Structure 1
């Protein structure tokens, strides 16, 4: 898949843009000044495969907590700032690795200059983030009264020009809406207009059930066009779920190898085991594994090993029993109530062999 070439920026140890691997982001939903809870959640995000973590900085207590959080975790931290330039300055002072900040919202030119000066000194990139729902009244009026892709791009370019005026180019851009076609069009237009790296996402996507679909369609469509350098799947719920979904989106497009890939059949009248429960239990247990491996859970022995012959390991159901197989070759028959344990024993065996 050919990706659009963008200029690289550095967020601590992570390169965004310039052909670097697409990074996965999420945002904590704890109070940032509650350092133990925030650190615990960040560690869970890292265990799931998160590359960059954003934290809310609504007040000075949150900004001052950044140093303690950074001392406890090894991950690039982005401070989410709205309006108050003093919070941006404090976040930079306490070691944050990036800002999510729209300079046009600060207002005062001297305050913008102060933030840019501090960001330059610490080499702290800034993300311009435009959401369709927060476009200014003036921008909406210029574009017929409702959010359009053109209005989103124009708004982002307005913020970008403020930073460029200060000779600041460590910029990445996001253009998010809950409307998938609108989001896709906005990113397409921005990709044609600039070479800054793009942060993909569908904002306010919804719960895990509905948000996964919207995010997969919107983000996946853009990635398939070669657009996007980093992404966040925005879901209402545990942010760790965002990482699992983001990993699956990237894996499905061949853009990342991380953790297991589950292959399972949709079941049919030949299936004589409780495949749905088995597949869900296997999927849940696989979240603990980080190495790339393809695992198959198939409904019958007629097609199972054949249709899933590329799987590193798999099981196929029968009547009261099933087959354990690897790369299409049958290893042995296993009683139904031992299928999952036999499957994971084989996975452990393969992992040990790979480590030797």
Structure 2
């Protein structure tokens, strides 16, 4: 059978052994596939159709429209370090990345794109972060622009978000770029969140994605994909299913944000991918892992392995993620990380907290000040890393900033308080 040990069975019939043959195309998960499942001596043949999404071209590849699912990753180098960024982009491309994403936070980052473009054949996507106007500087050198609706209100806060999206779409149209509307659980526009119940984290994400689709459609720009990401695989499954029900025509990029270190991060991601792709949902994927820079191609290898297992029927339907044990989430690292000690800290947190493995507690370790403050709000304990200090939180409450050398004892102290309070 192969696949990842511990994951037998089928997304069609739990416990079944399945094999699949494909439709007219040769790549895995093209327009349809046929699944043959054997359960208790009976054989069932099921045809699984992918959502009829529109085709979106990203440089030399196309997604949606029955094209093979593409694996993506993101550079973790400092973008201004052209040599290092080119080296990593080429390593990811060589590993089979259909798209390589690069973060751009400043004019200096943007200025590096021309040289980066000259040094790599990879299809490049740019993460615009908070300054949407940087689209104009980077678009001539890339194939896709990604913006986060929840970040648009930061820059020029009095300007309507609709004007900012029109600007980005206009730049993309002029320079032959695709767009991705990237909605993240921890950075939804506060004005949008206020319209939903406090415990409803998916409603604001879904509403944000849909209204951006409506605007892009209205202005005649349809060369876009959408992503809706959370660190909880079950929420990723739910919000993407809900989106696909309303907009089955829009290509979806799948991922579990801050999935963490392998093998845990791979397993969390696999849970979401199996459920969604087995339902025909998903056109590109990323496995976000907290690994050292030199190991970033492991994200592509993991994505390909998961896709191959799903295509071969080596899958299992996971109905309940079941956070009945310690859950450590951590971001995959990128150029926004201001201290490389973050990756080692994530490993140390996992090792130090092993004694609490039987407690349903979530600890989040985030690498930067862009997403860290918001994306640790839902964790029992959250750490987001700055250049010299690590900020510790309990849910949304700030507990203080501590040096990298002092944070682990303080984290243990707070963890023990939570465990003691539940005894």
Normalising by structure 1, we get a TM-score of 0.68
Match of 1:245 in 2: 302
Match of 1:270 in 2: none
Distance 1:115 1:141 in 2: 26
Shift in Å, 1:131: 1.0
Whether 1:141 aligns to 2:194 is yes
Q: Do 1:150 and 1:189's aligned partners in 2 also have CA atoms closer than 8 Å?
A: no
Q: Do 1:100 and 1:127's aligned partners in 2 also have CA atoms closer than 8 Å?
A: yes
Q: Where in structure 2 are the equivalents of 1:164-175 lying within 5 Å?
A: 164-175=217-228
Match of 2:21 in 1: none
Q: RMSD across aligned C-alpha pairs, in angstroms? A: 2.0
Shift in Å, 1:138: 3.1
Distance 2:298 2:192 in 1: 35
Distance 2:264 2:149 in 1: 33
- Stretches of structure 1 that go unaligned for 5 or more consecutive residues are 262-356
Residue from 231, 234, 241 that aligns with 2:288 = 234
Distance 2:81 2:177 in 1: 24
Whether 1:99 aligns to 2:108 is no
Q: Report Cα offsets for 1:125-162 as digits up to 9, x if no partner.
A: 11011111112333333221134333221111122233
Q: Report Cα offsets for 1:21-63 as digits up to 9, x if no partner.
A: 0000000000111110011111211222211100000111111
Shift in Å, 1:103: 5.5
Q: Do 1:208 and 1:235's aligned partners in 2 also have CA atoms closer than 8 Å?
A: yes
Residue from 204, 207, 222 that aligns with 1:154 = 207
SS in 1 for 2:263: helix
Q: Report Cα offsets for 1:242-276 as digits up to 9, x if no partner.
A: 111101011102279xxxx9xxxxxxxxxxxxxxx
Q: Do 2:185 and 2:230's aligned partners in 1 also have CA atoms closer than 8 Å?
A: yes
Shift in Å, 1:111: 4.2
Q: Do 1:132 and 1:147's aligned partners in 2 also have CA atoms closer than 8 Å?
A: no
Distance 2:255 2:200 in 1: 17
Match of 2:257 in 1: 203
Whether 1:213 aligns to 2:267 is yes
SS in 1 for 2:191: helix
Residue from 145, 167, 189 that aligns with 2:242 = 189
Distance 1:110 1:242 in 2: 35
Distance 1:158 1:224 in 2: 27
SS in 1 for 2:76: coil
Whether 1:79 aligns to 2:133 is no
Q: What count of residue pairs does the alignment treat as equivalent? A: 256
**Who wins on radius of gyration, i.e. which is larger?**
1
Match of 1:8 in 2: 55
Q: Structure 1 residues 57-66 or 156-165, which shifts more?
A: 156-165
Residue from 56, 60, 65 that aligns with 2:112 = 65
Q: Do 2:148 and 2:184's aligned partners in 1 also have CA atoms closer than 8 Å?
A: no
Distance 1:42 1:114 in 2: 28
Distance 1:84 1:242 in 2: 28
Shift in Å, 1:164: 2.5
Distance 1:129 1:255 in 2: 30
Distance 2:177 2:96 in 1: 23
Whether 1:51 aligns to 2:105 is no
Q: Report Cα offsets for 1:261-300 as digits up to 9, x if no partner.
A: 9xxxxxxxxxxxxxxxxxxxxxxxxxxxxxxxxxxxxxxx
Q: Report Cα offsets for 1:214-241 as digits up to 9, x if no partner.
A: 0111112211111100011111113211
Q: Do 2:63 and 2:284's aligned partners in 1 also have CA atoms closer than 8 Å?
A: yes
Residue from 277, 280, 304 that aligns with 1:223 = 277
CA change 1:124–1:103 in 2 (3 A) is: farther
Greater helix share, structure number: 1
Q: Do 1:202 and 1:219's aligned partners in 2 also have CA atoms closer than 8 Å?
A: no
CA change 1:251–1:8 in 2 (3 A) is: same
Match of 2:317 in 1: none
Q: Do 2:71 and 2:300's aligned partners in 1 also have CA atoms closer than 8 Å?
A: yes
